[in-house]
């Protein structure tokens, strides 16, 4: 990975985070401005449970994506290679004894 790819990736990451922050800020402002987020009887619990659910799903997504990239970069997703016996064996392992 060259320096150009690294700078493009970092700019893309910064733009993605900025986009999420702008969307979250706009949603918060809309809820505050309309009075939908009043924290009266029971709504604080609903907000807390919703926030916990969003954080849990986000964390789980991050962990699963990390595992997928770790598996891919570690070679765990490669097709296995088998050594074939050189003399008189069939190309498939163990089939020379069946005939």
Per-residue pLDDT at 29 = 83
Per-residue pLDDT at 63 = 92
Per-residue pLDDT at 91 = 53
pTM over 0.75: no
pLDDT beneath 50: ranges in the chain: 99
Per-residue pLDDT at 3 = 61
Per-residue pLDDT at 74 = 75
CA gap 48, 37 in Å, rounded: 12
What is the chain's Cα-based Rg?
Answer: 27
pLDDT tens, position by position, 4-17: 666 767 888 888 89
CA gap 19, 6 in Å, rounded: 20
Kindly give the residue spans of alpha helices, DSSP state H, lying in the chain.
Answer: 3-34, 43-73
Per-residue pLDDT at 18 = 93
């Amino acid at each position: 990975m060259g320096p150009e790819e690294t700078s493009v990736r970092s700019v893309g990451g910064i733009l993605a985070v900025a986009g999420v922050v702008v969307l979250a800020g706009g949603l918060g402002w809309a809820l505050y401005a309309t009075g939908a987020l009043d924290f009266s009887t029971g709504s604080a619990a609903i907000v807390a449970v919703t926030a916990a659910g969003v954080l849990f799903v986000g964390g789980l997504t991050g962990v699963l994506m990390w595992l997928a990239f770790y598996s891919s970069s570690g070679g765990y997703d490669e097709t296995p290679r088998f050594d074939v016996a050189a003399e008189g064996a069939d190309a498939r392992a163990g089939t020379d004894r069946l005939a």
